[in-house]
Structure 1
Amino acid sequence: MSRFNNLSHRQQGLLLTGGGAIIMAPDALLIKVADLPDAEILMWRGFLSALGFLLIALMRYGRGTLAAYRRCGWTGIAVALLFSLTSCGFVLGNQYTKAGNVLMILASAPLIAAVLSWIILKERLPGRTWLAISLCMVGIAMIALDDVGAGSWVGNAFALMAASTLAINFTLCRTRPGVDMSPMLVFNGIIVGSVAGLFWLAGSETTLPTVNQLSVVVLLCLIILPCGVTLLQRGPLYLPSAEVGLLLLLEVVLGTLLAWWILKEQPAPVALLGGGLVLGTLLAKGLYERRLELRQRAALQLDSPITADRSSTL
């Protein structure tokens, strides 16, 4: 933890958000591997993730857990509701259309977040961020190019709902600087699980998943989802919401690569080129901003002795 604290504010944000995106990479793949009906996968995802989020909150805050919830206030409730819509949109989008369509639409989240931050929070993003967002969206479009014609409008609509609510969520978190909203994700799980459970009970068949399906669901919903989303939800504490969304594209590209590898899907050359464009853009942006940060530190170190000398002569 001491090494983490020694990092700059921006570096901490990059580490948390990037780590969360990498952890979440198998999400879409495991949803398809589980191969469960809509209501059932959402019910398990909701209740198991709620348990995982609660365990993480208890480990992080201990006796101060209730105080952490109170700090979130009404904004935290809105965050929980928004993330419930994001979860439903992402899962149902993958159920009703090809993954490429969902990923391409999800790639619009950084742009939506950037516009919202610019309008609501008056955050001015540098030109390099807008350029990186544009290049990444082109790359994701190239990944999904051979799937575009096969998608269902229902699945595309769910994916757009996921992208929009995720962008609003990140922007809303920026309105409460310094307040960690990740404990509120417990309520997101309870909301999704309860609503989906009602639909599951009302269905004609209420069979339980097989052992293999249940093991995949437990891995995804009790471990991967709570750990990854908790890190992502803390991202807006350190970075502008547009940059959090930009780093989220790591999940998009790595998730697609995992699907190609595990499901033995043969990627088109244009899709490989698109993935390389996204990863290359994120890498170039990160290296450039790291260089700027080092220059700023060096300038501050040069100025501080001068300031000290002037103060000693007064």
Structure 2
Amino acid sequence: MSRWSALSHRQQGLLLTGGGAIIMAPDALLIKVADLPDAEILMWRGFLSALGFLLIALLRYGRGTLGAYRRCGWTGIAVALLFSLTTCGFVLGNQYTKAGNVLMILASSPIIAAVLSWIILKERLPQRTWLAIWLCMVGIAMIALDDAGAGSWVGNAFALMAATTLAINFTLCRTRPGVDMSPMLVFNGIVVGSVAGIFWLTGSEPALPATNQLAVVILLCLFIVPCGVTLLQRGPLYLPSAEVGLLLLLEVVVGTLLAWWILGEQPAPVALIGGSLVLGTLLAKGLYERRLEMRQRASVSTAPSITADRSSTV
């Protein structure tokens, strides 16, 4: 038995989703570093990420790639369209306001996902999950407290669109348990790239970006985004959508820390406290649920022996 198969279903989900969030952490930072116009950054992100998603699908499924797409059905098409809106909202949000604002608003996706799961899927979340969500929201608000007044309403609106469509996306994936929707992300890239490409071509004298900008775009859109988002999109196969959104807060905290470090921003003490609150909450929740899971395994493994002893006594 491999180490991966030895892990529980929940542990696999935590590793996939948490890993995807960490990989995606530099996303907002690199969008700022690339410093390209709206249509151009969206075009490159769309087409390059579509290529990356396709390569990942081919590596994972090989000759069964077409079958993987057929299994997604109409739900997969809806997922691709929703993620197109998420991509546009996230990128344009970073174009019009500070990264801290976008990340703070994106952190509202667990609340939206929890409400949607409760309404649509009738999923009942334990009180500890709700408590963790609210604690993390407080932490994220503290991180961006000194940045909240600097953002424009346009950027904040785009960020809210990204958070809402992301929550709907993850909730929709839960309606098709066992079906991997990540191959459909290829179509998300094609849609975003095509629409943005039209605006880019009709703009003023389209030209290739500078070498350093192109290097950042290729790193972000061809490698980071396809790998990170593929892992995140598989999260709802293993975890409730609200918990997937909760783990996304890792991207928020780590991404903000990277922006502080790379861009030379000086974090306020309240922001450091907020980041510690988020990471501490996620760690405490993970350790507590790991302990509960081990207790459940122990009780299941001892049940047959107890039955056998009783039968022999009779």
The TM-score with structure 2 as length reference comes to: 0.98
The answer to whether structure 1 residue 259 and structure 2 residue 255 are counterparts is no
Q: What's the counterpart of residue 68 of structure 1? A: 68
Listed as ranges, the matches of 1:213-228 within 5 Å are 213-228=213-228
Aligned sequence identity (%) = 89
RMSD: 1.2
Moved over 4 A (4+): 308-314
Shift of 1:172: 0.1
Q: What's the counterpart of residue 36 of structure 1? A: 36
Listed as ranges, the matches of 1:7-86 within 5 Å are 7-86=7-86
Amino acid at match of 1:98: K
Q: Bigger shift: 99-108 or 68-77?
A: 99-108
The TM-score with structure 1 as length reference comes to: 0.98
Q: What's the counterpart of residue 249 of structure 1? A: 249
Listed as ranges, the matches of 1:70-219 within 5 Å are 70-219=70-219
Shift of 1:93: 0.2
Deviations 1:255-314 (A, max 9, x none): 000000011000111111110000000000000000101111111111121234567789
Report the CA distance shift for 1:271/1:305 in structure 2 as closer, same or farther (over 3 A): same
- Structure 2 distance, partners of 1:60, 1:187, is 17
Aligned residues: 314
Secondary structure of 2:248's partner? helix
Amino acid at match of 2:106: L
- Structure 2 distance, partners of 1:5, 1:13, is 12
Shift of 1:121: 0.2
Report the CA distance shift for 1:311/1:191 in structure 2 as closer, same or farther (over 3 A): farther
Report the CA distance shift for 1:266/1:78 in structure 2 as closer, same or farther (over 3 A): same
Shift of 1:103: 1.1
Report the CA distance shift for 1:283/1:54 in structure 2 as closer, same or farther (over 3 A): same
- Structure 2 distance, partners of 1:310, 1:194, is 69
**Which residues of structure 1 form unaligned runs of 5+?**
none
- Structure 2 distance, partners of 1:165, 1:151, is 21
Q: What's the counterpart of residue 298 of structure 1? A: 298
Amino acid at match of 2:123: E
Shift of 1:207: 1.5
**Which residues of structure 2 form unaligned runs of 5+?**
none
Report the CA distance shift for 1:89/1:312 in structure 2 as closer, same or farther (over 3 A): farther
